[in-house]
Structure 1
Amino acid sequence: MRVLLVGDYPPPYGGVAIHVRQLHQFLRGRGVETKVLDIGKGGRPAPDVLPVQGAAAFGLRLAGFTSAGWTVHLHTSGNNPKAWMLAALVGSMPGSRSPRVITLHSGLIPDYLAASQARRVFARTALAGYARVVAVSPAVRDAVIACGVPARKVLMQPAFCGSQVQPGPVTPEVEAARARRQPLLTMAHHPSPVYGRKQMFRALKLIAQAHPHVGLALFGLGTRSDEFVRDARELGVAGLLEDLGELEHANALGLMSQSDVFIRPTTHDGDSLSVREALALGVPCVASDVCARPEGTRLFKAGDEHALAAAVSEALKAGPATVRAPDAGPVLLDVYAELMPSGMAGAGTVKAA
């Protein structure tokens, strides 16, 4: 069995990129010959990870694998035209012995597809070349089926490999934050309004009324921007923040493991990797009710900072709970085995790789 994963690979440390890396690690650990076509920004070199820049280079690389009969698994957001053009390209690449699988990751997919009939028709056409379509949530699954994709092809599976969640060492910066903050809350940050920064800051000010030594540790993109600094000052929480910037994924897990509550105040969401990571680490998790959340997540009404503050207070009182983490690795391994043409386990070589 030989599997080519196509998608972003860290850095940067977005949810899709982390899932691709963890799935890659899982498959290699099971002895599966696995490579990655990194279509992101091209991070540091890693074994069997092939960065590609430009459409021509990508097409040549991909054609080499499909002609050699590799199973190709594309990971993409599915919430913009570029993602669907990529899906159409990978699904239609010649190679009759090369099964195709796609995982659609974004929680924005239902709204994106509902916006026009043309989008739904294009999505159905783009997905025709895939033997399996993996939807990360029930809402994404339903949206894909509503486009006309046969339900038998669609698998609902969270994009999470629980077996690969291993926190890294706790850095001196995290140790210092832990020492001066009680409680210490954490949040994955992104400059997009979808991530709910302003709502979190408003809720943090309310939480500080009962917990004057509280701190919110933020990690991710955009924590040093002018807009971030402005919001922190205008909403009166600048002195309550621990800005850790963009962290290596293992270090982010190390921070998460030291926190009292992890918070996901998003206005739209899919199956959040960070929510599942927090739960797998035994950290109480508070998240908005904008989508289905894993068992053990404490929900609050999206857009209501008072409800968010109350949910955090409840989570602090309740403390950690043990939650069984799902693992996409074994599920996808079974999918690949099912789709692999008979007699193809060792056939073919990839000249373009």
Structure 2
Amino acid sequence: MPSGRKMLKPTIALVGPWPKPWGGISVHLFRLLPRLLEEGFEAFLYDDTGLHSGPNIFPLKGKWVNRFALRARERIVHYHSHSWGARMRLSLMTLFGKKVIFTVHSLRNPPRIPLRKRPEFTHMLQKAHFIAVNEEIAEKLSAAGARNVAIINPYISPPDWGKPHLDVEVFASTHRPLICLSALLFKSWNNKDLYGLFSALEALSLIRREMPEAGMIIYLSQIGEENLFRSFKGRVAELGLERDVLIRLDADEPFWTCLPLAQLFLRPTFSDSFGISLAEALELGVPVVASDAVPRPGGVLLFRAGDPADMALAIQKALSLKPERFSLDSFPALLDFYKSIL
């Protein structure tokens, strides 16, 4: 945590995970911190995984919330992780003149009833600022009683597209079309695998009947539920796709480095909040096919969630179309938001 020297510029404390692992929130913060520094903000990242440190990056270890709330000197405290307990306690920093912001990246884990009955929860809803990454989350926050809710998507453009890993380059040289997708982990959700990886695998098998050189690269940050992971690898073997599916597990390089080699980006999820990797593909002009589980941006071809045949048809159609390139970069909107609350 920085020393108690006098701070003359607007100061921001970003709280959340720093990569690795690569995930939607950590990617957002990985890009947000340097952009804020470039804009002249005095910004620091407090890594609540406790794993990372570096220039302007400080690890938070143990029971850090109360300690951080008492010691933080930044004027704006912007929390990105999912803990409602941490949100409630950090919101009390408004009593000391801090501007407290919570970006809610997902509401798959809503606050439990005992938390909602606590006075700190009411204080949080009334005094903190909330940023919802989509309209559905904003509506639910407002319905819960949050007074200050803005909608700003979490996508910030990468400074560059980097270099693909050698294994990815070799795989891409022998597979066309190359389909790329990313997932945090294997996780059960409503009796389905949340990221739709099994459906994507079945769709690839169907596509290869017409396009026998098609291949799929899956960036997976963590294994998650090991039984699902083993079942998935078993199904790859059953379909004879061992040489046509490349899993980049806990890769050092971020997902977006593979996109310049891709002919298609696939987002087969059964639930979603935004999907940063989807926005990356749109910006690069890679055709995007996604499930209809949630509203998607323009320029995305949809299929029925969990339907491999419909997914395969959508992929074939997308490959025949010329995609448009456009950016969903929200940094200017976030910068305006910060300035508006100072």
Maintained 8 Å contact 2:19/2:26: yes
**Are 1:71 and 2:79 counterparts?**
no
CA offset digits 1:325-352 (Å, max 9, x no partner): 1223222222222222xxxxxxxxxxxx
Shift in alpha-carbon separation, 1:120–1:217, aligned structure 2, 3 A? same
TM-score using structure 1 length = 0.84
Shift in alpha-carbon separation, 1:148–1:124, aligned structure 2, 3 A? farther
Residue of structure 2 in register with 1:312 after alignment: 315
Shift in alpha-carbon separation, 1:131–1:139, aligned structure 2, 3 A? same
**Structure 1 spans left out of the alignment, 5+ residues:** 78-82, 341-353
**Are 1:175 and 2:174 counterparts?**
no
Residue of structure 2 in register with 1:60 after alignment: 67
- In structure 1, the residue corresponding to 2:198 is in which secondary structure? helix
Maintained 8 Å contact 2:22/2:221: no
> Quick one: percent identity of the two aligned structures?
26
Highest RCO, 1 vs 2 (Cα 8 Å, sep ≥ 6): 1
Residue of structure 2 in register with 1:155 after alignment: 150
Which of 27, 32, 37 is residue 23 of structure 1 equivalent to? 32
Question: How does 1:1-353 map onto structure 2 within 5 Å?
Answer: 1-43=10-52, 45-55=53-63, 57-65=64-72, 68-77=73-82, 83-93=83-93, 95-106=95-106, 108=108, 112=110, 125=122, 127-128=124-125, 130-150=127-147, 153-162=148-157, 164-189=158-183, 190-192=185-187, 193-222=193-222, 225-250=229-254, 252-323=255-326, 325-340=327-342
Residue 50 of structure 1 and its aligned partner are, at CA, apart by 0.5
Residue 134 of structure 1 and its aligned partner are, at CA, apart by 0.5
- In structure 1, the residue corresponding to 2:46 is in which secondary structure? strand
Maintained 8 Å contact 1:103/1:135: yes
Residue 237 of structure 1 and its aligned partner are, at CA, apart by 3.0
Residue 131 of structure 1 and its aligned partner are, at CA, apart by 3.6
Residue 247 of structure 1 and its aligned partner are, at CA, apart by 2.5
Residue 31 of structure 1 and its aligned partner are, at CA, apart by 1.2
Structure 2 letter corresponding to 1:211: M
Residue 181 of structure 1 and its aligned partner are, at CA, apart by 0.2
Shift in alpha-carbon separation, 1:212–1:276, aligned structure 2, 3 A? same
Q: After the TM superposition, which parts of structure 1 deviate over 6 Å for at least 4 consecutive aligned residues?
A: none
Stretch deviating more after TM superposition (193-202 or 229-238) = 229-238
Residue 53 of structure 1 and its aligned partner are, at CA, apart by 1.1
Maintained 8 Å contact 2:65/2:89: no
Maintained 8 Å contact 1:121/1:147: no
**Structure 2 spans left out of the alignment, 5+ residues:** 1-9, 188-192
Residue 316 of structure 1 and its aligned partner are, at CA, apart by 0.8
CA distance in 2, matches of 1:264, 1:287: 4
CA distance in 2, matches of 1:169, 1:134: 33
Q: What value does the CA root-mean-square deviation take over the aligned residues?
A: 2.3
Shift in alpha-carbon separation, 1:308–1:246, aligned structure 2, 3 A? same
CA distance in 2, matches of 1:129, 1:36: 26
- In structure 2, the residue corresponding to 1:239 is in which secondary structure? coil
Residue 302 of structure 1 and its aligned partner are, at CA, apart by 0.6
Larger fraction in helix: 1
Residue 129 of structure 1 and its aligned partner are, at CA, apart by 5.6
CA distance in 1, matches of 2:267, 2:50: 26
Residue 244 of structure 1 and its aligned partner are, at CA, apart by 2.5
Stretch deviating more after TM superposition (211-220 or 127-136) = 127-136
Aligned length: 322
- In structure 2, the residue corresponding to 1:155 is in which secondary structure? strand
Maintained 8 Å contact 1:188/1:274: yes
Residue 41 of structure 1 and its aligned partner are, at CA, apart by 4.9
Stretch deviating more after TM superposition (126-135 or 263-272) = 126-135
Maintained 8 Å contact 2:94/2:100: no
Shift in alpha-carbon separation, 1:318–1:126, aligned structure 2, 3 A? farther
Residue 246 of structure 1 and its aligned partner are, at CA, apart by 2.4
CA distance in 1, matches of 2:316, 2:123: 46
Residue 58 of structure 1 and its aligned partner are, at CA, apart by 4.2
CA offset digits 1:31-70 (Å, max 9, x no partner): 1100011002513x33101011111x443233221xx352
Residue 305 of structure 1 and its aligned partner are, at CA, apart by 0.9
Structure 1 letter corresponding to 2:67: L
CA distance in 1, matches of 2:95, 2:340: 18
Stretch deviating more after TM superposition (257-266 or 220-229) = 220-229
CA offset digits 1:75-98 (Å, max 9, x no partner): 123xxxxx1111112112365221
- In structure 1, the residue corresponding to 2:140 is in which secondary structure? helix
CA distance in 2, matches of 1:314, 1:130: 48
